[in-house]
Chains A and B, each alone.
Chain A
Amino acid sequence: MTNISRREALAAGVGFATITMLPLSWAHADKALVDKAIADFTGGASVSEGNVSLDMPEIAENGNTVPLNVSVDSPMADDNYVESVMILASGNPTPGVATFHFTPLSGEAAATTRMRLASTQDVIAVAKTSKGEFFQAGTTVKVTIGGCGG
């Protein structure tokens, strides 16, 4: 068996860690980008917590396909309905994911899709009503980097 000194082993370990860390630091959307996306969506109006429920797994088995379900409490009547819901991922290279547009004919302000998450991060849903109100909800999803699945 070859003898590797403790120092060599440590150095190798550090080197490896640096290599694997780099893409992660690149892959982070700026908080400013998230704030800007929300400001563009709301036109600067204030956003309240609540009314929106964002359902995602606490731990995603693979970041390629993470289920997302969003629903907003709303009568979905002609004079009061949810117009759109924007989904943002704070830790992806860019925060935008998708924007759902509803009409009173939708019946419910609810949609399900599957999204990509580059790493463990917060996902945010911002809803806009026909009355010009804004609501938001967020959730943290842990993304596992697997032994063989990663």
Chain B
Amino acid sequence: MMKIFGKVAAIVAGSALVATAAFAEDRKSYPAPKDHPLSEIISGYEFRTPETRALQDDDFENPAYILLDLGAELWSTADGAAGKSCASCHGDAAESMKGIGASFPKWSKERNKAITVEQQINICREEQMQADTWKWTKDPNMLGMTIFVKNQSRGMPIVLDNSPEMETVRKLGEEVYYTRYGQLDMSCANCHEDYYGNYIRADMLSQGQINGFPTYRLKWNGVGSTHRRFKGCMKNIRANPFKPQGEEFTALEAYMMYRAVGLPIETPSVRN
């Protein structure tokens, strides 16, 4: 019995290896800094099929550009009681927003907490423009503006805010990352650190990097945010998801930027 089982296992393992190798050959990786949990840092792009990559490679074919165009339009459209647009304060986004997507979340002294790009957008809308805030995960305006802002950093490597406050935030994010949640009792690490490059059923697991978010996801038939993806993962492991833009997911995002350090921003990417 054991013999047969052993043979079957060997065949299964063998075919898994073959399947992995087909994708693994040209996977571009970035060196991880000292004491980093990963030995190599790899974008989710590298784990996708040639067809999915092709959708991202061509800015016209990438459907997320519809929302990027919307974001660009909103940037210079006045809204709210103050009669201001983003451009009224920030001018040309290509200058003023350069690097933002590669360095947020960052520490806000006034609020005494870490804030994401989405939160900063709503802070501006509320306080500077006196406009209604946008919903966090699915509002096309919020997605479009977040894509537009982060896209100004496309190709720039992720850098970290090394303030002691952000170190503390990342500590909490690390705790969220390694804590097993839900009925399946799994942590982020169980898939995205231990088994990236392997199949979970028919899905190729990536490192779960967030450098391409918001992303056009084939499963969603549309664009979604980082925190929507976090929520989806938690539902998959049958856990109660944290709130989008709440303390836990913001900390997790900050920690994920550490896991992605040096990786270029790809926003808006295309994923499966």
Do A and B come into direct contact in the complex, CB within 8 Å? yes
**A interface residues with partner B (beta carbon < 8 Å):** 57, 59-62, 64-67, 144-150
Query: Which A residues are in CB contact (< 8 Å) with B199?
Result: 147
Known: A61-B48, A61-B218. A148 touches B54 (CB 8 A): no
Chain A's nearest CB lies how many Å from the CB of B134?
26
Say if the beta carbon of B221 comes within 8 Å of chain A: yes
**In the bound complex, what is the Cα–Cα distance between A146 and B199 (angstroms)?**
9
Contact present for B272 and A61 (CB under 8 Å): yes
In chain B, what residue has the closest Cβ to A116?
B221
Say what secondary structure dominates the interface of chain A.
loop
**In the bound complex, what is the Cα–Cα distance between A62 and B233 (angstroms)?**
17
- Across the A-B interface, give the 5 residue pairs with the lowest CB-CB distance, nearest first: A147-B200, A144-B202, A146-B203, A147-B201, A62-B218
Other than the known A145-B201, A146-B203, what 14 A-B pairs have Cβ atoms closer than 8 Å? A57-B50, A61-B218, A61-B272, A62-B219, A64-B221, A146-B200, A146-B202, A147-B199, A147-B200, A147-B203, A148-B200, A148-B203, A148-B236, A149-B202
**B interface residues with partner A (beta carbon < 8 Å):** 48-52, 54-55, 199-203, 218-219, 221, 232-233, 236, 272
Query: Which A residues are in CB contact (< 8 Å) with B52?
Result: 61-62
**In the bound complex, what is the Cα–Cα distance between A118 and B33 (angstroms)?**
44
Query: Which B residues are in CB contact (< 8 Å) with A64?
Result: 218-219, 221
Contact present for B51 and A57 (CB under 8 Å): yes
Query: Which B residues are in CB contact (< 8 Å) with A150?
Result: 201-203, 219
Known: A144-B202, A147-B202. A59 touches B272 (CB 8 A): no
Chain A's nearest CB lies how many Å from the CB of B96?
34
In chain B, what residue has the closest Cβ to A64?
B218
- A-B contacts, 30 of them at CB < 8 A, read A60-B51, A61-B48, A61-B51, A61-B52, A61-B218, A61-B272, A62-B52, A62-B272, A64-B218, A65-B55, A66-B51, A67-B51, A67-B55, A144-B202, A145-B202, A146-B201, A146-B202, A146-B203, A146-B219, A146-B272, A147-B203, A147-B236, A148-B200, A148-B203, A148-B232, A148-B233, A148-B236, A149-B272, A150-B202, A150-B219
